[in-house]
A and B are shown apart, each in its own frame.
Chain A
Amino acid sequence: GENVEQHPSTLSVQEGDSAVIKCTYSDSASNYFPWYKQELGKGPQLIIDIRSNVGEKKDQRIAVTLNKTAKHFSLHITETQPEDSAVYFCAGTGTASKLTFGTGTRLQVTL
């Protein structure tokens, strides 16, 4: 099955700086890679996703890049704001729809 590794586990940045979170996956058949943001006491919420036929996708301050050859994908957040503070999870689908999640990155944006 799919195995997703994520790092760093914690990330602290100053407001306005950029944050980068990286993930690797094992199943070359994986074709869908979402990123979820989870705030305390809430369920994960999709912030951006990318499919295997695309190398990069951007949505305002958030971008995701995918390198299929190296089997890794990254989340980039620019101009970070305090409300970006949360736990972020990457995920992959393997050959089915079920998501295999990374272990999470706790992002703290300081003033």
Chain B
Amino acid sequence: GAGVSQSPRYKVAKRGQDVALRCDPISGHVSLFWYQQALGQGPEFLTYFQNEAQLDKSGLPSDRFFAERPEGSVSTLKIQRTQQEDSAVYLCASSFVTWGFGDEQFFGPGTRLTVL
């Protein structure tokens, strides 16, 4: 079956522009995570959704970052007024289990954001 998909795969933005990154999780997966991966580093947690509820946004680096999952399926990560330090790969992952239980997270291919 289809895995997690993300679009666009690559995004180049000028400093100060707004960007929107899309994630299509595996159908039926309750949990959805966003991670940020800087070059040469491990992914770092940004935010978590259980269905449409955003239960944890402790990893969002500033109020310029906003995520939503209005119908409990597709999610969008929005970054306003992009800065050079926002350049990274943004990974989306989904999981069948609910919050509090560790289980496999299926990752998408990521969106590579470059802010000039």
Closest to A9 in B: B40
Interface size, A (range):
20 to 34
Interface size class of B (residues with CB under 8 A): 20 to 34
User: Considering the complex, which residues of chain B in the window 33-82 have a beta carbon less than 8 Å from any beta carbon of chain A?
Assistant: 33, 35, 40-45, 48, 56, 59
Chain B's closest residue to A106 (CB) is B40
| A97 at the binding interface (Cβ < 8 Å) | yes
User: Which residues of A approach B to under 8 Å, CB–CB?
Assistant: 6, 31-32, 34, 36, 41-46, 49, 51, 89, 91, 93, 95-104
Q: Is the CB of A93 within 8 A of B102?
A: yes
B88-107, CB under 8 A of A: which get 1 and which 0?
00010101011111111111
Across the interface, do B100 and A43 meet the contact criterion of CB distance under 8 Å?
Answer: no
B41 A97 Cβ-Cβ under 8 A: no
Tell me if A98 and B109 are in contact (CB < 8 A): no
Q: Decide if B108 is an interface residue (CB 8 Å cutoff).
A: yes
Is the CB of B31 closer than 8 A to any CB of chain A? yes
Of all chain B residues, which has the CB nearest A4? Answer: B42
B115 within 8 A of A: no
